Structure 1
Amino acid sequence: MTTVPPAASFDPASATIAVVTFNRSSLLTRLLESIVAMDPKPGHVVIIDNASTDDTAEVVESFRPRVGTEIVYRRMETNTGGSGGFSEGMRVAYEIGSEWIWLMDDDVEVIEDGLAKMGAWAPRFKSIQGRRYDYDGSEFYWQYRVAEPLGIPIPFAPAAFDASGYKPMNSGCFEGMFIHRDIVAKIGLPDPRFFIYWDDQTYGWLASRETESVIVDEFVLRRTREIRQWDMGVRHMNASSDAYRYYIMRNRAYIKQYYRALGVHRPLPFAVGTALTFGKELIRLALVERTVRGTSNLFRGLRDGRRIARDRTWRPMPPLLDPAR
């Protein structure tokens, strides 16, 4: 039986849901509908619109009288990617004084009592990841452990939970990360330079260096977008895109820079991790997307990553001052 700590010190109004969206107003509508049905509700909902050209702004306005909590809407001038959107969403949530920040994409919906479930763990931990259902209602497996020397997730980390109801993690996923402002103050905002990919893993890894980070056995989100994938039982491999393939390889350089800055970079194991990442993308092309086209984007990402890795002026995201303190 899962052991859940008491929720006495958690105030739902102290939490903010921060959502990043881009040209997917129909998915955003489903997410906002689920927030309307939430009980309890967060104190704020921050929506970062990555310069959408559809009716996203109108959809947001239509929910203001219905959602039951304050909506803060920010439209970016350009598409800053998921990384830039989550960085801005975290910044806004932090500056309005949120104690807890719950990050999510627009292609999920919140389980009605999801915030209560996350809040039950808030007195004990400050970096928490809940579980989510996949599009078809199955349990989504997320790779919550990183092999630090390699800088890649461990695909065979155990899926089962014991009676404690949680497992230590050293990664993160912006589709459901629940993080306390104290940790945000220490590690700074998510790094917008990633644009997409590896940004949430890196941010979760940074958080785990400051606090005990956990994934808890609580289903709090449901994915609402179907993604083509190769089913491997408990685990699966999703289809990708040329943009993802490029950033998967390019952004290895940003992980390397963070590792160097924090004194954990080991060149040979990290190079092995990069080679394994490249090989995984070849497998994804062959078995999920049934093509060999797209490899040029992997090589282009490696090339541009080398320039980033040679930049000796590069610095990590800085810690934040905390005006609420």
Structure 2
Amino acid sequence: MKPEPKDKAEVDTTSFAPSDTAIVIVTYNRSHLLDRLLSSIQVMNPSPGHVVIIDNDSADDTHEIVAKHTIELAPTVIYQKLATNTGGSGGFHHGVKTAYELGASWIWMMDDDVEVIPDSLGKLGKWAARFQVIQGRRYDYDGSEFYWQYRISDRLAIPIPFAPSDFDITGYREMNSGCFEGMFIHREVVRRIGLPDPRFFIYWDDQLYGWLASKITTSVIVNEFVLRRTRDIRQLDLGVRHFNASSNGYRYYIMRNRAILKQYYRAHGVLFPAHFALGTVLTFAKEILRLVLVEKTIRGTSNLFKGLRDGRKIEIDKAWKPMAPLESTDHSNRLKNH
């Protein structure tokens, strides 16, 4: 299944309306962070039409926090508590599906450990007439400007760490990746590439989703600060770039999910096995460095090997299929009439 050609003229985005936006939040046992995020949404100007909250079966007081903000927030709040923890991938799968079925023209995805800048929706909206996939910038926990690796190597399927971090007079750079911590995407792109793949659980899911989107439209990161991280993460400061601490779960899925990426690349006819294998080796080496330099240990390496082992089962699964595009039925007026 090869990607559809780019067609920037297919959908009219010139009449951007903030009320046609649905913010999709995925949360899990971090009610204090969710509380802060929802408080920041409360003072947004302009504000979105809907806030969709996907709760990955939290055991804390997330439900009570949502109930409080459902009364306080101007946007309509849609709350779904899932029966099990489906990871970030499963959460965004359900959240984007819900926002799409509501008829939202624009879907803005984010985790629970950020807060929105009050005028952020207006900042993104001014780019909506030109682009259908927009990534804003964010401040890190300490207030510094976070650098996100917005370009990936098509053949290696890994981020390019030396992609330029500055912006020229245009105020944007083209990207071929994605980050669910702030991806702002038009419903037409969702229709054409399908929903986020829940099989990732965590990691590589948003990179792939952005890559798929970039195959059919021009995707950009814009020089607009729209989010601020609210959770401190241990990291090694390398100047513009950082090495963040990880976990055993992340290490496992980082390697296992390379197999899902490989299946997608194969389905789209762009798999170069030797290059992709090199990308996997480089990913493994990077995680070893992360362990040694940031976490000061080599314990956890076994999870990388377990991920590779279980990924092999996915690689050889001949019944495996990528996520399919959505039906072409137009729901674009539902949100206005909801």
TM-score range (shorter-chain normalised) is over 0.9
CA-based RMSD of the aligned residues comes to 0.8
With 271-280 and 59-68 compared, the bigger mean Cα shift is at 59-68
Q: Deviations over 1:160-209 (max 9, x none)?
A: 00000000000000000000000000000000000000000000000000
Supply the distance in 2 between the matched residues of 1:94 and 1:219 (Cα, whole angstroms): 25
Instruction: Give yes or no for contact 2:14–2:128 (8 Å, CA) kept in 1.
Output: no
Specify the alignment match of 1:317 in structure 2.
Answer: 323
Supply the distance in 2 between the matched residues of 1:10 and 1:142 (Cα, whole angstroms): 26
- Stretches (4+) displaced over 6 A: none
Structure 2: unaligned runs, 5 residues or longer: 1-12, 333-338
- 1:260 deviates by 0.2
Supply the distance in 1 between the matched residues of 2:210 and 2:256 (Cα, whole angstroms): 19
Specify the alignment match of 2:88 in structure 1.
Answer: 82
Specify the alignment match of 2:336 in structure 1.
Answer: none
Supply the distance in 2 between the matched residues of 1:204 and 1:51 (Cα, whole angstroms): 27
Specify the alignment match of 1:53 in structure 2.
Answer: 59
**Residue type of the partner of 1:62?**
K
- 1:67 deviates by 1.1
Instruction: Give yes or no for contact 2:234–2:245 (8 Å, CA) kept in 1.
Output: yes
Q: Deviations over 1:46-70 (max 9, x none)?
A: 0000000000001000011211110
Pair 1:247 & 2:253 matched? yes
**Residue type of the partner of 1:75?**
K
**Residue type of the partner of 2:187?**
R
Specify the alignment match of 2:184 in structure 1.
Answer: 178
Pair 1:190 & 2:196 matched? yes
**Residue type of the partner of 1:45?**
V
Q: Any residues of structure 2 matched to 1:204-223 within 5 Å, and which?
A: 204-223=210-229
- 1:8 deviates by 6.1
What TM-score do the two structures reach when normalised by structure 1? 0.97
**Residue type of the partner of 1:94?**
Y
Pair 1:302 & 2:308 matched? yes
Supply the distance in 2 between the matched residues of 1:18 and 1:185 (Cα, whole angstroms): 17
Supply the distance in 2 between the matched residues of 1:148 and 1:199 (Cα, whole angstroms): 15
**Residue type of the partner of 1:229?**
Q
- How many residues were matched structurally? 319
**Residue type of the partner of 2:297?**
T
Instruction: Give yes or no for contact 2:42–2:73 (8 Å, CA) kept in 1.
Output: yes
Identity of aligned residues (%): 66
**Residue type of the partner of 1:293?**
R
Specify the alignment match of 2:4 in structure 1.
Answer: none
What TM-score do the two structures reach when normalised by structure 2? 0.94
Q: Any residues of structure 2 matched to 1:23-62 within 5 Å, and which?
A: 23-62=29-68
Instruction: Give yes or no for contact 2:28–2:55 (8 Å, CA) kept in 1.
Output: yes
- 1:323 deviates by 3.8
Q: Any residues of structure 2 matched to 1:134-153 within 5 Å, and which?
A: 134-153=140-159
Q: Deviations over 1:117-176 (max 9, x none)?
A: 000000100001000000000000000000010000000100000000000000000000
**Residue type of the partner of 1:258?**
Y
Q: Tell me the secondary structure at the aligned position of residue 202 of structure 1.
A: helix
Supply the distance in 2 between the matched residues of 1:278 and 1:92 (Cα, whole angstroms): 35
Supply the distance in 2 between the matched residues of 1:58 and 1:78 (Cα, whole angstroms): 19
Q: Deviations over 1:77-110 (max 9, x none)?
A: 0000000000000000000000000000000000
Q: Tell me the secondary structure at the aligned position of residue 64 of structure 1.
A: helix
Pair 1:10 & 2:46 matched? no
